[in-house]
Structure 1
């Protein structure tokens, strides 16, 4: 939590030119940690209570099988801005957060283009990390169908789709599937983490909003 506070206030200095004292940063991080502990205790307590609520299938993140990994990926387009961001999270069968990554691109993009680009970046990230047996999840049904289908795409997303298909043709241990948006909330939060244009941020400790989603996903079974 302290490391995340340092990173957070560093961004405040870079982007908003706001400077805080070390004492303020430490006290703020301790307060955030206490609030997080309270939030976690509420989630755990609520999971123990009997409930009659019926969840729609696929509305919650599910853990991969033991020995396999999962990457959730999402894109976020800033309204009125000529840029978009993508976020991805690598998790395991325990529901643990292994690593995250966010990227920001300074170019206009349609929703389909941004989502297809996000899946492509996620696949390239997996390959670069050398991990195997990975399930990639995206809440873009159109992009997932295009990647898993046989049709050729000549639109603006054609090169992204073809790139994804090429990777999957070689890596049979990687598959891509669609999930509902509610099952992809942590990746959505990751895509909204501040990042410099045309750059990426590798995240080893999840920020608070991402952490809240990860804890929720790991604490309550379907």
Structure 2
């Protein structure tokens, strides 16, 4: 049944369970870091209120990064994307509880992570139509 819904409706399972208002959008982000690598990757997906795929983006960052650095950089990128979607309520979702909590609880970090968190906080404060969830 699940696969039938996914393939026939172009939906993915998490979106099927959400009760959305028509016109509302959801952005998901995830980061990937390989041990010993000199780069990291970020994947982003935009879905409409029916859970249907609208657009996808990816990003490859150069340099060594911790998982938290990559996840917060992914959140910066997706919040910039959300900010540029005019007139829509946008929900942003990340699988990084540590990153989401740091942003939502106004935790101060140093180095690159702190810079990314502060950028995310500033975007969220200036754009009340964007919500951030784990």
Same fold, judged at TM 0.5 (above): yes
- In structure 2, C-alpha distance between the alignment counterparts of 1:131 and 1:69, rounded to whole Å: 11
Structure 1 equivalent of residue 127 of structure 2: 171
- In structure 1, C-alpha distance between the alignment counterparts of 2:36 and 2:118, rounded to whole Å: 29
Q: How does 1:196-207 map to 2 (within 5 A)?
A: none
Flag the structure with more relative contact order, 1 or 2, with Cα contacts below 8 A and sequence separation at least 6: 1
Does the C-alpha gap of structure 1 residues 131 and 124 become closer, same or farther in structure 2, counting only changes over 3 Å? farther
- In structure 2, C-alpha distance between the alignment counterparts of 1:135 and 1:42, rounded to whole Å: 23
SS at the partner of 2:132?
strand
Q: Give the superposition deviation at 1:156.
A: 3.1
State the structure with more CA Rg: 1
The answer for unaligned runs of 5 or more in structure 1 is 1-40, 46-59, 179-222
2:84 to 116, 121, 128: 128
Structure 2 equivalent of residue 157 of structure 1: 113
Does structure 1 residue 44 correspond to structure 2 residue 28?
no
Q: Give the superposition deviation at 1:155.
A: 4.0
SS at the partner of 1:93?
coil
SS at the partner of 2:112?
coil
The answer for unaligned runs of 5 or more in structure 2 is 6-12
CA RMSD of aligned residues (A): 1.9
Q: Give the superposition deviation at 1:126.
A: 1.5
1:111 to 67, 78, 82: 67
Structure 1 equivalent of residue 14 of structure 2: 61
- In structure 2, C-alpha distance between the alignment counterparts of 1:64 and 1:106, rounded to whole Å: 38
Q: Is the 8 A contact 1:78 1:84 kept in 2?
A: yes
More helix by share: 1
Residues 158-177 of structure 1: per-residue CA shift (max 9 Å, x gap): 00000000000010110111
- In structure 1, C-alpha distance between the alignment counterparts of 2:96 and 2:2, rounded to whole Å: 31
Q: TM-score, normalised by structure 1?
A: 0.52
- In structure 2, C-alpha distance between the alignment counterparts of 1:131 and 1:107, rounded to whole Å: 36
- In structure 2, C-alpha distance between the alignment counterparts of 1:105 and 1:64, rounded to whole Å: 34
Does the C-alpha gap of structure 1 residues 171 and 77 become closer, same or farther in structure 2, counting only changes over 3 Å? same
- In structure 2, C-alpha distance between the alignment counterparts of 1:83 and 1:108, rounded to whole Å: 6
78-87 or 102-111, which deviates more:
78-87
Q: TM-score, normalised by structure 2?
A: 0.84
